Amino acid sequence: MPLRGACPLRLRYLEGREVETDATLVLKIGYRGAHFSGYAEQEDMRTVAGSVRQALETLFRRPVDLTCAGRTDAGVSALEQYVSLPVWHEELDGREPRRVWRSLMALTPEDVSIRGLYRASEGFSARFDALSRRYTYRIACGNAQPVLAWDYAWWLHASLDVEAMSEAATCLVGEHDFRSFCKVSSAQKLLEDGRSTSRMLHEVVVCQRNEVGEDLVAITVEGNAFLHNMVRIMVGTLVEVGRGNRPASWVRKVLEARDRRAAGPTAPAKGLVFESVRYEDGALRAWTS
């Protein structure tokens, strides 16, 4: 049996022959992050990956190695996270998809939702084949405590200038070195390993919206990849502008500083939701039969 985190299990003996995995199973999952210590497995901690892996190992009766589209921190939720694992065609062909779905729903905790099952070609990776990832951060402003948004929004006892925040956010779109918006220890490790802190953001939108009868400020960010705490630091920085503590032009100076100390605070985790992932058309095929 391979160690956790080792190369994916790709070979097994079938009728005396060594056979490679020849397909990929992809799960679309959602989860409420409040009671998880993040996505990635950690010893003696309740994690999303640990819960999903245990369910899949019970279902397939063998070790599995998971790859996800993007790791999330403790307290962060997800609507559409994708997880892939190498499988053999016969493991899928001999099963009825609806029963697999029901089994996984029964085997995972109530704060994890199995939202879709897909088949992909051999070698597909939920992480490396992703074209972009999309996050939304929600803020409830004012003195009234949010009701239904309480579990997925940051309650901020202040009003925000959304137009100023939107103006400030424009400089973040495009390819930049986002070191100022990365957790210090993570940025240091990337640099020591010779990896870049540059990322491409396709969109940063700040707007007001009403959800289930409550007015919220939503900050939606889509990019090819993200650094550790990147979205939450961006939100904390934009909130400084929205509260009138800094001018909109300050955010560009933060970006150019390439120094975490130049940016605003890290916004609380519970307001962040991993919204969706984009793949090439046809990369995922719904597993319905």
pLDDT along the chain (289 residues), means of 10: 38 46 91 95 94 96 93 95 93 90 97 96 95 98 93 94 98 97 96 95 97 95 96 98 97 97 97 97 91
Among 157, 160, 154, 151, residue whose Cα is nearest residue 139: 154
Task: Give SS3 for 215.
Answer: strand
- In this predicted structure, what is the pLDDT of residue 289? 72
- In angstroms, rounded to a whole number, what is the distance separating the alpha carbons of residues 267 and 227? 15
CB 85 within 8 A of CB 65: yes
Give the count of beta carbons closer than 10 Å to the beta carbon of residue 104.
19
- In this predicted structure, what is the pLDDT of residue 169? 98
Question: Left (φ > 0), alpha (ψ -120 to 50) or beta: where does 147 sit?
Answer: alpha
Give the distance, in angstroms, between the CA of residue 238 and the centroid of all CA atoms in the same chain.
21
Classify residue 68 by its DSSP letter. E
Token pair 């939100």 in the structure block, residue: 235
- In this predicted structure, what is the pLDDT of residue 91? 87
Residue 161 catalytic?
Answer: no
CB 134 within 8 A of CB 86: no
Reading the block at residue 140, the tokens are 């409830």
Supply φ then ψ for residue 45, to 5 degrees. Answer: -125, 150
Token pair 């990365």 in the structure block, residue: 182
Token pair 């999309």 in the structure block, residue: 134
- In this predicted structure, what is the pLDDT of residue 11? 45
Task: Give SS3 for 144.
Answer: coil
Where do you find CATH 3.30.70.580 in the chain? 11-129
Alpha helices in the chain (DSSP H): 48-60, 89-93, 97-107, 162-169, 184-192, 230-242, 250-257
CB 31 within 8 A of CB 77: yes
For residue 236, give the H/E element and its range: helix 230-242
Amino acid present at 136: T
Query: Hey, CA dihedral for 268, 269, 274, 275, is it positive or negative?
Result: negative
Token pair 């949010």 in the structure block, residue: 146
Where do you find CATH 3.30.70.660 in the chain? 132-275
Amino acid present at 202: H
For the domain made up of 11-129, the CATH class stated in words is: alpha beta
Give the count of beta carbons closer than 10 Å to the beta carbon of residue 208.
12
- In this predicted structure, what is the pLDDT of residue 288? 84
CB 205 within 8 A of CB 125: no
- In this predicted structure, what is the pLDDT of residue 21? 62
- In this predicted structure, what is the pLDDT of residue 89? 86
Q: Say which CATH topology domain 132-275 has.
A: Alpha-Beta Plaits (3.30.70)
Catalytic residue among 44, 65, 73, 177: 73
